[in-house]
Structures are given as structure tokens and as C-alpha cells.
Amino acid sequence: MRTQVGIVGAGPAGLLLSHMLARRGVDSVVVEARSRSHVEQRVRAGVLEHPTVELLRAEEVGDRMDAQGMPHDGISLLFDDALHHIDFADLVGRGIVVYGQQEVVKDLIAARLRDGGTVEFEAADVALHGLTTDRPSITFTDTAGIVREIECDVVAGCDGFHGVSRRAFAPTVVERTYPFGWLGILAKAAPTRDELVYANSDRGFALYSMRSPEITRLYLQVPADEDAARWSDARIWDELGARLAGIPVNEGPLLERPSVTGMRSMVAEPMRHGRLFLAGDAAHIVPPTGAKGMNLAIADVAVLADALEDLLRRGSSRGVDAYSATCLRRVWRAEQFSSFMTSMLHRYGPDSEHGDAFGRALQLSQLRYTASSRAAATSLAENYTGLPHGGPA
């Protein structure tokens, strides 16, 4: 098989890159280890920044998002037993859209297959070769057990933290692991709020969010090594009621078993090795508090698609040479914002510098300042709704 860009990973980053390249006259093939049904059903992020929404519309894959997504003009912070509204529309003139990552993936797969694109699902033993040459390749075993090879000009590694792309070379990796995780549930229950609520409680952090007018998505801060099996449905609802005090919560059957997501930050530098370009979780991880994961992946792709068009259609390497530095400016801004939100909202243990009486007082001071100062609220709104793709950060 011969193509211009071999893409590893059929998540939002890989699929959107393939779609954008096709619209620019550049051929690609996507290779994915999982089945189509798996990638279309795995529940992940649900908040789309304003630049993400605008890009999906511009690339003509935003119709279902516009029809079914839930626009939000702000969020609320819950602390000191009161709700404090952060009005994005008033502060920065833009908002966000709640639309599940799996829905974005469905839209992109449908668009690629409609347009004759190639997505190789259930590809086993994926390996990358010749990355420092001008003829890299990808090998994999297909569903019939046949070993196949894709010869290409460029490889895009969009296969996440555990994929083969980041392990194909030795970037400098810096990490931070947080001492807690999120216990998440997806419930068949109508939301009682129009916007997300981030709660700082004496019992720990909680997040009230939603996925549709019929489905609520909720999270509880738990220890990083917590066993989700220890949490019965009744215990989860009781704890949510305690941490979201004063906010009515509709209870309903859980659509999936509770799971615990660890909280960590990771950045791999550089995001390029020869003809391999990393994008999304293959290059960086953020804690979910700032709602940045999928949006960062899409921001990477927005830069990479233009750079690859310049390289493969015009013979200019200027964009690909600047790719890593351009993306990392935005990545580090998102890392700082996500760390800020995480430290402001979560309860730390008493042995932590953030969890003693002094640290707790500082945390509440920051929350009160953010909720009362227009300048502080504007900074939160600007970062939460998203900075321009490829711009200074």
C-alpha cells in the first residue's frame, strides 16, 4: 500500500487529520488497533472549546454537533456553600459545547468512509520503520492474519500514551502524578443544571456535567489507587449529594460500571522525530480538570494538517520544522491551566503542602478571588474556552 501520510490511531486526532488532509488534496491511510465499534463507543471527554467547534464546522463535520451538542456560556464554581457563576459569554464573548468524544469520532469515521478514505481497524502488531529516512513505513497484521506494509512520506503518531509512536524514539518526557483520581459515572438521568459545576467540598472535589438532555456525567475525587468495586450505586449517589450540597441531582440507572481515572500530566519533547510527528495523547497528557485533552489533540492536528500540506504539495518544510515548538507553546499553557484548576479544586492530604491548614486557606482565597475579580474570572474564561490554534500562548 502506498500513501502520502500514514496515520496511527483512529481517535479524534488521527481521524480529523486524515479528513483535513483529504480536503487539501493529500492522501492518507489510518491504522487502528481497536475495532470500529470500540472506538465509536468508548466514553471520553465531552467539552469542546470554541476553536474546536469552529474548526469542526469549517471542515464540514459539525452538523450533528450543532444539532445535538449542548452550548454552554459558562460554568459554576461551588464552594463556601454557594454557587459562583463564571459567565464566559460576558467575559470573553464565546463559550463551549458539550458533545461527547465518541460522537466526534462517529462523525469523523462516517466522513472518511463517505469520502472513500481508508481506515484499517483491528490492526495487530503495528510497527514503524525508517522514520529518519524519506521513505518511512508502517507494518501491521490485518484481520485475515496477513502482514501488510504501508509505504508513506510521513507518519503521524496519533495513537495515545500507550501507542507505538511515542516509543519509536526517545523524546524527553516530563511528568507529574497527582495523589487522587476521578470516579466517573454515566447515568440515565436528566441533568438538573444547564452548565457544568465544579465543586470544592470539605469531602473532596466533585464535577457535575452532562452528555445529553437525558444523560448525566458525574465525577468524584477518590484516592488514586481506589477500587471502583468498593462503590455501590447508593454510596455514589449519597456522596454526590453530600459534595454537591444544595444542587438537586436526578438519580438514574448507570449506563456503565463506575471506573477510576488516574490524574497525571505528561509532556514529550520534541513532538517530531525525522518523518514521525506526534499529536494528541501520544505527546502530552493533562488532568481532566481543565477539559483540555481532546482539544489539545485537535489543536495539534490543526497545525499539522497545514504543515503537511505545505510539505507534500508545495515542497516547503517551514511548517513541519516549526511544528513541535508551535504546538508545545499551547501545550504548556494548557498544562499550567489544568494544574491551576486541579490544585484550586481538589482536596489534598494533610501531609501535602496543599493540604495543610495554610494550603487550604490559600486554596479558598484563590477560589474567592476567581469568583469576585473580573480580571481573574476573565483569565479562567479565556483559557477554558480555548486559545487560538497555532497562535502564541
Q: What is the pLDDT of residues 10-39, one digit of tens each?
A: 999 999 999 999 999 999 999 999 999 999
Catalytic residue, chosen from 19, 273, 284, 292, is 292
Q: Is the confidence at residue 45, as pLDDT, over 80?
A: no
Q: Is the confidence at residue 393, as pLDDT, over 70?
A: no
Stated as kind and residue range, the H or E segment containing 272 is: strand 272-273
How many C-beta neighbours within 10 Å does residue 72 have? 21
**pLDDT tens column, 52-64:** 999 999 999 999 9
| Interatomic CA distance for residues 381 and 298, integer angstroms | 19
Q: Is the confidence at residue 70, as pLDDT, over 70?
A: yes
Confidence band of 353 (pLDDT split at 50, 70, 90): confident
Q: In terms of DSSP bridges, do strands 204-212 and 197-201 run parallel, antiparallel, or are they unpaired? A: antiparallel
How is residue 225 annotated by DSSP?
A: T
**pLDDT tens column, 237-285:** 999 999 999 899 999 999 988 999 999 999 999 999 999 999 999 999 9
User: Which residues share a beta bridge with 83?
Assistant: 78
Q: Is 292 a catalytic residue?
A: yes
What per-residue string of b and e applies to 295-334 under the rule 16 or more CB within 10 Å gives b? bbbbbbbbbbbbbbbbbbeeeeeebbeebbebbbebbebb
Phi and psi at residue 305, to the nearest 5°: -60, -45
Catalytic residue, chosen from 72, 273, 284, 346, is 72
> Under a CB-based contact definition with an 8 Å cutoff, are residues 133 and 152 in contact?
no
Range with the poorest average pLDDT among 44-53, 103-112, 154-163: 44-53
Radius of gyration for the chain, computed over Cα atoms and rounded to the nearest angstrom: 21
- State the pLDDT at residue 392: 62
The whole-model pTM stands at: 0.95
Q: What domains sit in the chain, N to C, each tagged with a CATH number?
A: 5-70+99-174+264-340 (3.50.50.60), 178-262+347-385 (3.30.9.10)
- Mean pLDDT for the chain overall: 95
C-alpha cell at 7: 496515520
Q: Is the confidence at residue 144, as pLDDT, over 80?
A: yes
> Under a CB-based contact definition with an 8 Å cutoff, are residues 169 and 277 in contact?
no
Residue 147 buriedness (CB in 10 A; 0-12 / 13-18 / 19+): exposed
| 116 three-state secondary structure | coil
How many Cα atoms sit within 13 Å of 285 on the Cβ side?
19
Q: Is 223 a catalytic residue?
A: no
> Under a CB-based contact definition with an 8 Å cutoff, are residues 126 and 137 in contact?
no
How is residue 2 annotated by DSSP?
A: B
Catalytic residue, chosen from 12, 19, 191, 198, is 198
Range with the poorest average pLDDT among 151-160, 219-228, 315-324, 355-364: 355-364
Catalytic residue, chosen from 51, 136, 258, 288, is 288
Q: By C-alpha distance, which of 84, 108, 124 is closest to 28?
A: 108
How many Cα atoms sit within 13 Å of 44 on the Cβ side?
20
Range with the poorest average pLDDT among 40-49, 59-68, 204-213, 222-231: 40-49
Q: Is the confidence at residue 355, as pLDDT, over 90?
A: no
Q: In terms of DSSP bridges, do strands 284-285 and 47-48 run parallel, antiparallel, or are they unpaired? A: unpaired
> Under a CB-based contact definition with an 8 Å cutoff, are residues 218 and 209 in contact?
yes
C-alpha cell at 182: 476521578
| 168 three-state secondary structure | helix
Mean pLDDT across the stretch 117-145? 97
Mean pLDDT across the stretch 347-363? 86
User: Which residues share a beta bridge with 181?
Assistant: 222, 262
| 14 three-state secondary structure | helix
- State the pLDDT at residue 165: 97
**pLDDT tens column, 215-232:** 999 999 999 999 999 999
> Under a CB-based contact definition with an 8 Å cutoff, are residues 245 and 201 in contact?
yes
C-alpha cell at 186: 454515566
- State the pLDDT at residue 391: 66
How is residue 149 annotated by DSSP?
A: E
Mean pLDDT across the stretch 293-314? 97
User: Which residues share a beta bridge with 182?
Assistant: 221, 261
Stated as kind and residue range, the H or E segment containing 380 is: helix 374-385
| 63 three-state secondary structure | helix
Confidence band of 111 (pLDDT split at 50, 70, 90): very high
Q: Is 106 a catalytic residue?
A: no
